[in-house]
Structure 1
Amino acid sequence: MKKGVAVVTGASRGAGQGIARALGAAGYTVYVTGRSQTAGASRLGGTIHETAAEVTAAGGRGVAFPCDHGDDASVRALFAAVARDEGRLDILVNNAVSLHDELIRPGPFWTKPTDMVDILDVGLRSSYIAAHAAAPLLVAKPGGLMIFTSAPGAVSYAHGPAYGAQKAGTDKMSADMAVELRPYGAASISIWMGFLKTARTAAAVAERPGQFDALMATAETPDFTGRIIAAIHRDPAMMALSGRTVIGAEQAQVYGVRDIDGSSPASLRPIVGGPFTYDEIILD
């Protein structure tokens, strides 16, 4: 039985691909968005059509929807199509992000290209626009869930100031949206993912042997986050998490969720600390 309708942004590859696949395995219809439509479009591989096929093969229904998340009109068209063709939206996973090829290159920000800051356009602003377009569907009935994928870079130094600003902004934006969604029974939650086993990670490990050995020992698949999202959505106490930034590995322990290889990835809290807690004090 189909569990509902989800949109996963930036799902041609990487985190979004695994999240979409896991939601498919949980029975969801998943709209897979991104720009990559043809093989070879990215050096990292992956297309929205390949991911949609994996969603369907996993047991859900994958719908490939070309979308440039730097183009507001393209994003609006996405949610208009979901409204027209599905008549509902149960989960939005805001995952699309612009990751520069020089993200992990050592050196201060002023020695790197200025377009490193594009992560604030596709990664922060784009999530706001997607949430804005999706909210009317999510609040149509209680139980809607908005997820933001994030990382410990929100509170600790990682990859420079643009990256940190995007992660910190994502967590706070999710918390503030939760305040306004709460009266409608819809939740907004930011999830810190761990070090991910993706094509991008594999390329980084090959490029810098030894640099990521400690992190690889705790690495998790992106499907793991998708499994956690499915568990959150079926949790009768979901609203208690709304407004919070949660560490995926810790929330998985609460639900008894394991990674696809049966492992229980460790929380990075002892290494990087924990998320901020935001007050819902209304200052307006």
Structure 2
Amino acid sequence: MGQGRDCVAVVTGASRGAGKGIAKALAAAGATVYITGRSWRAGEAALPGSLTETAEEIAAAGGVAVPVRCDHGRDEEVEALFARVRADHGRLDILVNNATSLHDALTATGPFWEKPLDLTTIWDVGMRSHYTASWYAAPLLLANGEGLVVNTSSFGGRIYMHGPAYGAGKAAVDKMAHDMAVDFRPHNVAVISLWMGLLLTERTRQVFDAEPDKYADLVATAEHPEFSGRVIAALWADPGRMAHSGTVCIGAELGEAYGVTDITGGQPPSHRAFFGPPTSFGDAVVE
């Protein structure tokens, strides 16, 4: 992947959705990818997808994936994950913090007090789990001498999207990327938050398939999950990646800058014109 040696990556929440697509793309680019999730085999969750299936698809395409069952709400399981990476490789190149708890009622309409309080689980598996994984990964990234941490996020960190629980969770991981970048900068480890577009995941496909005419226009602008992985691979291959550290990046714009296309060959739209620019933060550092 442009670094002259084997790349070791961890992608959390890779049973399905964005994490699965990112893992497949990084593996296709030559990385050994550790994939995590709670669904080990098909049928263990309401949505399609499992770690075993992700690993099998990567292997069938000629890549290397190491599935590790991990509940990112349990710190001891996260610690064990990175202990395994340390035992196997002694270092880590890329960490993609993607595991996120998305409640079934997330997209329900109405004010937040009419929705389940459990929507706040995104602050545990999402906000807190991103921090925890980065904390355990840090010694491996430092041992590597360089690295990349990516928090997957969305325009929901800037606008009203699915209500305050979701918005607070996404805004938090955006700010977390900025602040972690300050600490990691002397060690040549870049940290970004990546705003993905509307993704063609198992969850969204179920919604689209139920009412295809209603969502035809949305489907036309949607990204395949592998696109985000291709963008991350391109960023890792860029010797100037530190210039992006501490920023919130729109995946479609970063992809266009690197000449990265979706698996269909097209270039996903940015959505900046409708949702606005990425969040920016101040330069002052108070220790």
- Deviation for aligned residue 1:206: 3.7
Contact 1:148–1:170 (CA under 8 A) maintained in structure 2: yes
Match of 1:75 in 2: 78
Corresponding letter in the other structure for 2:118: D
Is 1:253 the counterpart of 2:237 in the alignment? Answer: no
CA distance 1:9–1:173, shift in 2 (3 Å): same
Is 1:271 the counterpart of 2:268 in the alignment? Answer: no
Match of 1:91 in 2: 94
Match of 1:64 in 2: 67
Query: What's the TM-score once normalised by structure 2's chain length?
Result: 0.96
- Deviation for aligned residue 1:140: 1.5
Corresponding letter in the other structure for 1:91: I
Q: Secondary structure at the match of 1:118?
A: helix
| Cα distance in 1 between the residues matched to 2:102 and 2:72 | 13
Corresponding letter in the other structure for 2:252: A
- Deviation for aligned residue 1:2: 6.3
| Cα distance in 2 between the residues matched to 1:236 and 1:205 | 39
Match of 1:130 in 2: 133
Corresponding letter in the other structure for 1:271: F
Question: 66-75 or 210-219: which moved more?
Answer: 210-219
Cα deviation, 1:63-83, whole Å, max 9, x if unaligned, reads: 000000000000000000000
- In structure 2, stretches of 5+ residues that fail to align are none
| Cα distance in 2 between the residues matched to 1:97 and 1:47 | 15
Cα deviation, 1:205-247, whole Å, max 9, x if unaligned, reads: 2455655443322101010000000000010100000001100
- Deviation for aligned residue 1:39: 1.2
Contact 2:98–2:126 (CA under 8 A) maintained in structure 1: yes
Contact 1:52–1:62 (CA under 8 A) maintained in structure 2: yes
| Cα distance in 1 between the residues matched to 2:269 and 2:147 | 29
Is 1:6 the counterpart of 2:20 in the alignment? Answer: no
CA distance 1:280–1:60, shift in 2 (3 Å): farther
- In structure 1, stretches of 5+ residues that fail to align are none
Contact 1:179–1:280 (CA under 8 A) maintained in structure 2: no
Is 1:49 the counterpart of 2:52 in the alignment? Answer: yes
Q: Secondary structure at the match of 2:135?
A: helix
Fraction of identical pairs, as percent: 55
Contact 2:90–2:143 (CA under 8 A) maintained in structure 1: no
| Cα distance in 2 between the residues matched to 1:95 and 1:139 | 21
Q: Secondary structure at the match of 2:221?
A: coil
Match of 1:104 in 2: 107
Corresponding residue to 2:202 among 192, 195, 199: 199
Cα deviation, 1:134-169, whole Å, max 9, x if unaligned, reads: 011112133210000000000011111100001100
| Cα distance in 1 between the residues matched to 2:60 and 2:89 | 20
Match of 1:143 in 2: 146
Contact 1:15–1:198 (CA under 8 A) maintained in structure 2: yes
Backbone CA RMSD of aligned residues: 1.4
CA distance 1:164–1:93, shift in 2 (3 Å): same
Corresponding residue to 1:218 among 221, 228, 232: 221
- Deviation for aligned residue 1:57: 2.6
Corresponding letter in the other structure for 2:270: S
Query: What's the TM-score once normalised by structure 1's chain length?
Result: 0.97
| Cα distance in 1 between the residues matched to 2:191 and 2:100 | 18
| Cα distance in 2 between the residues matched to 1:128 and 1:212 | 35
Q: Secondary structure at the match of 1:70?
A: coil
Q: Secondary structure at the match of 1:145?
A: strand
